[in-house]
Amino acid sequence: MQEKVVAQKLEEQELKKKQQENASQAYMKNVYETLKEGKLGDIKVDRKTQAMLYNGLVQPNYPSVSGRNTNLLGHLLEKYQFVEPNYALISEALWLLQDPTGYKAKIMDKGAQKSVEKTVRKLKSEQSNVGGASLGVNQAEKESTKRSTKRKIQRPTNIFKRI
């Protein structure tokens, strides 16, 4: 009876191992399929970034707090939670993971606001430049009219001049 229990447990372990292997293969395939186009949503990704993302999601190269190895995503989450706490960054990552569309919309609004501020600054500087330049032009015109309105000295005509 004990042999049957041991055999059954070994069989269960083999089954779990196969399931984990299948899940791992499916995960790697899905990550590859997601990144192979060179786009994430509507954002283009270069080859170097593609490779970094793929390896970061698939390769368990980093030690974890639990003692097992983890991928770059898990490593960075642990790093910014425990080793070098950066709770603002972790909160942003959580917000992005929980509500991607809301997070992206907020980022787009912030970008649009920055763009408007930049445009307003450019318009104000151009307006001040135009005002300064027009004064310069008017000043030049005034000086030229002053020169032309000066009295000219009447010189006698040259007697040696050819007719």
Check if the beta carbon of residue 90 is closer than 8 Å to that of residue 77.
yes
Question: Cβ(64)–Cβ(78) under 8 Å?
Answer: yes
* 155 lies in some domain: no
Residues with Cβ within 8 Å of 46's Cβ and at least 6 positions away in sequence, in order, are: 38
Total number of domains in the chain: 3
Identify whether residues 89 and 112 lie together within a single domain.
no
User: Taking CA 94 as the corner, what is the angle to CA 88 and CA 98, rounded to the nearest 5 degrees?
Assistant: 145
Domain presence at residue 154: no
Q: In 3-state terms, what secondary structure has residue 112?
A: helix
Give, as one character, the DSSP assignment of residue 147.
H
Task: Please tell me the pTM assigned to this model.
Answer: 0.66
Lookup result for tokens 């974890």: 64
In a domain? residue 51: yes
The verdict on residue 149 lying in a domain is no
Same-domain status, 30 and 66: no
**Residue-range definition of the domain harbouring residue 123:** 101-138
pLDDT in tens, the chain (163 residues): 889 999 999 999 999 999 999 999 999 999 999 999 999 988 999 999 999 999 999 999 999 999 999 999 999 999 999 999 999 999 999 999 999 999 999 999 999 999 999 999 999 888 888 765 554 455 555 555 555 556 677 766 777 766 6
d(CA 45, CA 37): 9
Considering the domain architecture, whether residues 26 and 51 belong to the same structural domain is answered as yes
User: Does residue 111 sit in the same domain as residue 124?
Assistant: yes
